[in-house]
Structure 1
């Protein structure tokens, strides 16, 4: 099966508005594909940004300007988390809370570093430094300021000068530069799309602000593999992928066993976007995936699928298409209904009403809407049966579906 076909299956299963991907072999971009988008389209990469911040900190360490054992306040004295070491911040073992105080930072316009530290006074800590792993976006906001102060320039300026320009990564940027995808979220039951804002996250930018492309991230993979010693020593790249307290995280890199491969890299998400970059250090094989959907990209399934042998066989599917027209009489039927105590969900997708078991997500039947508005099963257990819509329940061949388990308004009436 071709890469395009494998990517289409990922797009279909995840209900992704658009998706692009690339496969690396021996550290080089070997194949690319896109569904509903050109592979050169830029997407927001979320927490893959952290790998850039981590490399900048480790460059400073390799230059002898910092030690990973240094407390943050040795270089950035004006924070309430000054006692946390740089190594613990890089490895998410500093005990910091996951998110900065205030509104959802990924979806809100960010402020200055002074505003960030004023809002985060240390009371949100969840553990003592070095006690256990707890992923912290806030920690990378602090590391970004460390980089800026030691270089005497903004974090973005340092990223450009130290990394992007030497690598020729001209499509990796702070904000969206055309051609770029619009961030989307998919309404769960209707399949309709909503736009998500492309926020400037300010001082939290080093944790998740960047936009990039498949080709640029394939280039970046070479740094993470230790194949650009002019920018990052091979031994330092190996150190990044050495676990600290948690076996799944090193210094700015996640470690994952996927499809029988030991991979390193990072996933990313921002409202309207998901991304993933994982590579295998031993072979240089890897995958990049970028999509403009808030949810739906199953990293643990997608990466092995893209890296699978092209000769592998699987059922071919058509791309998922968002809903653009929803019949008014269908919308009230969508959502969660109970068959007895068993929860089911009803979605509108590809001009059909889908019945799924909520616990496992299994599709059990679909119904088509005739011109007269009647819904008739066209696949699955209820094929050929008519779905009858009542005031408080749905009925199909004696199967009763109610908004609450065994709704007495329905079950009393039929006894």
Structure 2
């Protein structure tokens, strides 16, 4: 993959290089590589120190750990979109005899199934996967630690179950399905379950000495869908672009948006950290910026992929050490540097192609009680409702083709907006999920619930 370095200003490129240099030096990583994505493709690649005597480029593989979970989640969402399963289905409906069959597919994706965080001893990341040949070896005798669906508790065995679900419904190995349905269509030819040359070796760095110890590179076996993959900054840049915009060859924009939507109840610590979880994707708020993506780690490697969808910037950071560099913080900072130094240039305003008088009649000021709202007709054919002052409920609405509209986000997501006209055709009011919006505050000519005092508005003498 050839990246265009010219698309970012020299000062921005230097700031990016400085940030990864600090991250590598302070984190004492044998090497650290990074990429920035904008406009659907990589626009910057940076590397510090070397792998096998050469500065690693965007083709050098690193192990990406739990970023693998996002790939597995995409495979599950494809099955959902094909109608092969429903996210509300209990696992037992499709994969019997696991001992965890009461958990739903969605709960497994969002880590709310109540399963343990890890498989039974020994430490699965540093032992051969052959030690856990069966799902029962991954889950143990008591797989549940918490009530199903009640709290977010990150679970590696949960994604092993999802990988087994993919295999059951596809009739093929997880790795084979992954290649056929994600890696090949998106051109991720340097992403694989086993390392391919050139690749970095994994190291442990002594906490009190500048000394290295090689880490074992184990095949995770049954646990592969939770953390097996190797990849590159070039491939993960493509994957980040897909997670931001979708690709009809793999998963629609609507479905990847669903993956990026919070699906897990937030615990107290999560609220304080500004973090939650979607369907195979981590969600966090950092410096006022909403970031989605996933982190990963295995002995010898650290990885992070983050995306600011609103600002059209993503970053990937990979390092070959067990601990040290804060790759999540580095990736978030790379996004911040680009977003602040070179803000996204908005799309040009364009007028509607055609004006429907009945839709135009909806535009303007409306009142819910005494709260003033504005309703705009936008060039993309949607309606946008927002309060005229302060905060409050807002949403966009898509047309249903029968004169009604469905909310797309916020409090009114999925709710029906129904314009109501008088017998003479004049606009009476809007019914929005039983809320009545009128042209004047408590319009006496509209059917406001509870009625309007016949004496109308008054002062107090």
- What is the TM-score normalised by the length of structure 1? 0.72
Partner of 2:300: 272
C-alpha change, 1:190 and 1:200, in structure 2 (3 Å) is same
Q: Which runs of 4+ in 1 moved over 6 A?
A: 310-313
Partner of 2:199: 180
Contact 2:138/2:157 (<8 A) preserved? no
Contact 2:128/2:219 (<8 A) preserved? yes
Partner of 1:307: 335
- What is the TM-score normalised by the length of structure 2? 0.65
Contact 2:62/2:232 (<8 A) preserved? yes
1:165 is paired with a residue whose SS is helix
Partner of 2:48: 35
- Asked if residue 85 in structure 1 is aligned to residue 98 in structure 2, the reply is no
2:83 is paired with a residue whose SS is coil
Q: Distance in 1 between matches of 2:134 and 2:329?
A: 40
Q: CA deviation at 1:199?
A: 0.6
Partner of 2:134: 115
Q: Distance in 2 between matches of 1:237 and 1:178?
A: 31
Give ranges in structure 2 of 5+ residues lacking alignment. 1-13, 51-55, 267-274, 342-461
Partner of 2:241: 222
1:225 is paired with a residue whose SS is helix
- Asked if residue 62 in structure 1 is aligned to residue 81 in structure 2, the reply is yes
Contact 2:34/2:315 (<8 A) preserved? yes
CA RMSD of aligned residues (A): 1.9
Q: Distance in 1 between matches of 2:138 and 2:166?
A: 21
C-alpha change, 1:121 and 1:187, in structure 2 (3 Å) is closer
C-alpha change, 1:79 and 1:311, in structure 2 (3 Å) is closer
Which structure is larger by alpha-carbon Rg, 1 or 2?
A: 2
Partner of 2:437: none
Q: CA deviation at 1:310?
A: 6.6
Partner of 2:251: 232
- Asked if residue 154 in structure 1 is aligned to residue 180 in structure 2, the reply is no
Q: Which has the higher contact order (CA 8 A, sep 6+)?
A: 1
- Asked if residue 17 in structure 1 is aligned to residue 23 in structure 2, the reply is no
2:33 is paired with a residue whose SS is strand
Give ranges in structure 1 of 5+ residues lacking alignment. 314-415
C-alpha change, 1:73 and 1:122, in structure 2 (3 Å) is farther
Contact 1:102/1:119 (<8 A) preserved? no
Contact 1:81/1:122 (<8 A) preserved? no
- Asked if residue 73 in structure 1 is aligned to residue 101 in structure 2, the reply is no
